[in-house]
Structure 1
Amino acid sequence: MGSATSVKRRPLLDWLYREEFLIGASLARIGFGFILLYMYLIHYAQRYLLWSDAGLIDHATYMASSTKDGAFSLYMLSPSLGYFDLIYHLGIVVAILYLIGWKGRFISILNFIFTISLIDRNVLISDGGDNIMRLILFYLLFANATAYFSADSDKYWQRRPLVEHTVLYKIKSVFHNFAVLFCIVNLCIMYLSSGLYQVMGEVWNNGTAVYYILQVDEYSHPFFQSLLLQNDFAIVLATYASILVKLAFPFLLFNRYTKYAVVCGVIGFHTGIAIVMGLVTFSLIMCMIDFLLITDKEYQRLYTDMSRLARKISLALRTRTRRLGRMQPLRSQRVIVFFDGWCPMCQASVRTLKALDWFGLLRYASFREQSVCEAYGLDPQKAEQRMHSKRIGDTDLHGGIHAFIQISKRIVPMWLISPLLCLANRLGIGQKVYDFIAARRTIMPTGGCDDSCYLPRVQTAKHES
């Protein structure tokens, strides 16, 4: 009897002693970091009005209300605008460090203190999203949110095999797993209680709640207001769908087949709130918590499936675009690119261009091959300084930024930056920037370089040193 009980306990202990939901916690950290940085920067010009002694709530009024409520904020320590600027800018720095995941747990504590300090300084402009974010950030203090996509992730995975059997690691794992579990349970409680309150409301029962929400100008966009108010079916559907997705959330979340449906449902729900009602930060905060609902294995499987799908789509597109590239109008636009075969950066650039060349309009040749310079009349010294290109059939050579512009016009993903390259060239800075980068690349002569090497001796000595 005792052995059977211990066997049943073992899977639970194994789960507790092994950190789960690491990818979701890391994505949530990145999401909250972006939201906090957005909040700091979007209000930067109005920071004095919103949070300082010279703004909506002066220091004396804030101190009186905070003393009554027992709140704490770093901004209460001094009414000075200089001190305010110091704390505000330190908050921006901490938010950036939290975003990149440097010194995870220590920065998480600082970020939590700076965040609640900013929220408590002026509660008049806060909403429910700020309260939820404050709660989730507190739980994440006990979680490992820097295992992935962070400045400390490499160090973590190097140390983990050495410490994962220690008592300290197991204690941290227990705290991490319970912290994520508390986030999920709180999310379930919020959705369930919200759904139950909606069920008890008359306008939600008769399907007209969305109609009345759209009557409030502060929480409705004129375009969607005019669009939805003319469609009774859309109003009723949106009203009942918001109730159903909230009530179903806690019950469908823990089934592997229905989880994705309900997660997509709440993300769609909050996306609609952000677009129609303009509550962007609230919706983003709720969507960031949803990252915690997916396990590491599910994220990895999703990444594998998406990568496989992307390869299939890429292969299909490449096959069709290459067929278009063989048509005469496009064949006449083919370009040959002369690059430095001794330059690792140039070789990497060529590999990238080959992957992006959907229509197959680019050909490549290293000017380091003697036959290339002779066949195309290239000056080796000029070709070493700048990449060159020419359209097949033409005699004009394009060098430096001009060659890069000619290439960008034939690479579909580069069409977005092609106008910027042309503008930089017109302003006279394009060639200078290109030469600045090209002059600092590393050249590695094939087979080494001796006294007979035709490279300038100063440059050879530089790279040998």
Structure 2
Amino acid sequence: MQQAEQTSVAAPTPSRRRTERAGARKPQRVPESIGTLLTLLLEQPVSLYAAAVLRIGYGLLYLAFLLREFPHRDEIWGPGSPWTPELARQLFDQTGWVSILTLSDSQAYFEACYVLAVVTSALFMLGWRTGAVSVLFAIVVASFHARAIFMTDGGDNLILLMAVYLVFTACGRRWSLDARRTRLRACAGPTSSLPVDRGAGGLRHQFRSSQRTLTAVLHNCGMFVIAAQVCFLYGSAGLYKVQGSSWGNGTALHYVLNLGLFRPWPELSLIADEHDVLIAIACYLTVLLQVAFPFVLFGRLKYPVLTMLLGMHLSIAVLMGLPLFSGAMIIADAVFLPDRFYRTPGRLWRRAGLRTDARDAGSPVHGESPLLPSQPAASSLRA
């Protein structure tokens, strides 16, 4: 009888066995998750297409900005500006800013710096020698921003931050001249068939492995900082609006539309201001989108939120005359779109090209009766 009691006590129940198995599996999942996270952080750069979109977007935006202000360049940044280089240098002594534009008061030197800025923006947009050009682009943006710090609209503040962050990312891996050169070099194959010393080859392999790890870490950290910067920007803007009574009663946009400084199209602003209900809805929706933005980034709800934010920024660009600020925000939002979103148009384009080639060659396409046997048609498509 004692043996039966010991057996009944020792034999675990089914629920107990499930609990023990779950407890045994739980400590194993945590190290696996940590290992997966470290592998993703150390070995694989993430969001390469998003980084390329940021590079192209900010390079193009700043290039358009410099070309747009070309007739007024001397009044804004040059020696003929009311904010003279001497005043700028006195401010730099207090703030710690620096600018290559204040190194000389010569007009020829300023024109050379302006040409350098235009060429650097174009090369950064195209992705030529991105590692070095990204540093030069950040220096150019910081120099022009510091030189006319009181003559900006807020958009170049975000461009300056993004230019600094993009220095640490591998933003030239996709959709760039660097990527094209790498692809052509890979297609050409090895250029030398001479024997290689094993010791030197091992050191070279270790160096390249360390370089890839460092590049992946810097890139992933840079993309994380960019995403966090945008989240902080939206969240703080929304929480700041909540504190104001005009946003709470839905009248804030009414006052915005009647500011003379931000009315490039007065007739259009008056037309928009006539719809009181829509103005109130836009106020509440703006606050809701900005406050909720950091919390919807991990689900499908982010796509309609990003679409509504796109409409909001386009409205700001048109109604308030702030295209630089709106463009900088629209480009920053692109960091939250996955790489498969950017690969989809190319995949659809290639699929449409295959259908066109198959139709021209007489091969069967979807929805048509096959004219050839299935095996030759498949091989012809692969060819």
- TM-score norm. by structure 2 comes to 0.76
What is the identity, as a one-letter code, of the residue corresponding to 1:176? H
Query: Counterpart in 1 of 2:32?
Result: 7
Task: Report whether the alignment pairs 1:145 with 2:171.
Answer: yes
Matches of 1:75 and 1:297 in 2, distance apart? 42
Matches of 2:159 and 2:269 in 1, distance apart? 29
What is the identity, as a one-letter code, of the residue corresponding to 1:279? L
2:96 to 42, 66, 70: 70
Query: Counterpart in 2 of 1:207?
Result: 250
Contact 2:257 2:270 in 1 (8 A): no
Matches of 1:224 and 1:307 in 2, distance apart? 42
Task: Report whether the alignment pairs 1:265 with 2:308.
Answer: yes
What is the identity, as a one-letter code, of the residue corresponding to 2:233? M
Contact 1:253 1:262 in 2 (8 A): no
Query: Counterpart in 1 of 2:380?
Result: none
Matches of 1:223 and 1:25 in 2, distance apart? 39
Matches of 1:168 and 1:275 in 2, distance apart? 45
Q: Percent identity?
A: 29
Structure that is richer in helix per residue: 2
Instruction: Tell me whether 218-227 or 138-147 shows the greater mean CA deviation.
Output: 218-227
Structure 1 pair 3–238 and aligned structure 2 pair: CA distance change class (3 A): closer
Gaps of 5+ in 1: 316-350, 352-465
SS in 2 for 1:30: helix
Structure 1 pair 56–37 and aligned structure 2 pair: CA distance change class (3 A): same
Contact 1:20 1:295 in 2 (8 A): no
Displacement after TM superposition at 1:302 (Å): 5.7
Displacement after TM superposition at 1:306 (Å): 7.8
What is the identity, as a one-letter code, of the residue corresponding to 2:93? T
1:79 to 87, 105, 122: 105
Contact 1:22 1:296 in 2 (8 A): yes
Structure 1 pair 203–178 and aligned structure 2 pair: CA distance change class (3 A): same
2:130 to 93, 104, 118: 104
Give the number of equivalent residue pairs: 312
Bigger RCO of structures 1 and 2 (CA < 8 A, at least 6 apart) = 2
Task: Report whether the alignment pairs 1:193 with 2:193.
Answer: no
SS in 2 for 1:152: helix
Task: Report whether the alignment pairs 1:276 with 2:319.
Answer: yes
Could you report, residue by residue, the CA deviation over 1:294-327 in whole angstroms, capped at 9, with x for unpaired residues? 121232246546877x89xx99xxxxxxxxxxxx
Displacement after TM superposition at 1:259 (Å): 1.8
Query: Counterpart in 1 of 2:284?
Result: 240
Displacement after TM superposition at 1:246 (Å): 0.5
Could you report, residue by residue, the CA deviation over 1:333-378 in whole angstroms, capped at 9, with x for unpaired residues? xxxxxxxxxxxxxxxxxx9xxxxxxxxxxxxxxxxxxxxxxxxxxx
Task: Report whether the alignment pairs 1:218 with 2:261.
Answer: yes
Could you report, residue by residue, the CA deviation over 1:87-138 in whole angstroms, capped at 9, with x for unpaired residues? 1111111111111110001000001101110111111211221111111111
Query: Counterpart in 2 of 1:296?
Result: 339
Task: Report whether the alignment pairs 1:168 with 2:211.
Answer: yes
Instruction: Tell me whether 105-114 or 289-298 shows the greater mean CA deviation.
Output: 289-298
Matches of 2:237 and 2:346 in 1, distance apart? 33
SS in 2 for 1:166: helix
What is the identity, as a one-letter code, of the residue corresponding to 1:11? T
2:68 to 42, 49, 64: 42
Query: Counterpart in 1 of 2:366?
Result: none
Matches of 1:74 and 1:126 in 2, distance apart? 18
What is the identity, as a one-letter code, of the residue corresponding to 2:321? G
Query: Counterpart in 1 of 2:147?
Result: 121
Displacement after TM superposition at 1:212 (Å): 0.5
Query: Counterpart in 2 of 1:462?
Result: none
Matches of 2:33 and 2:269 in 1, distance apart? 56
- TM-score norm. by structure 1 comes to 0.63
Query: Counterpart in 2 of 1:231?
Result: 275
Displacement after TM superposition at 1:156 (Å): 3.8
Matches of 1:297 and 1:228 in 2, distance apart? 38
Displacement after TM superposition at 1:5 (Å): 4.5
Query: Counterpart in 2 of 1:434?
Result: none
Could you report, residue by residue, the CA deviation over 1:281-302 in whole angstroms, capped at 9, with x for unpaired residues? 1000111111211121232246
Contact 2:141 2:163 in 1 (8 A): no
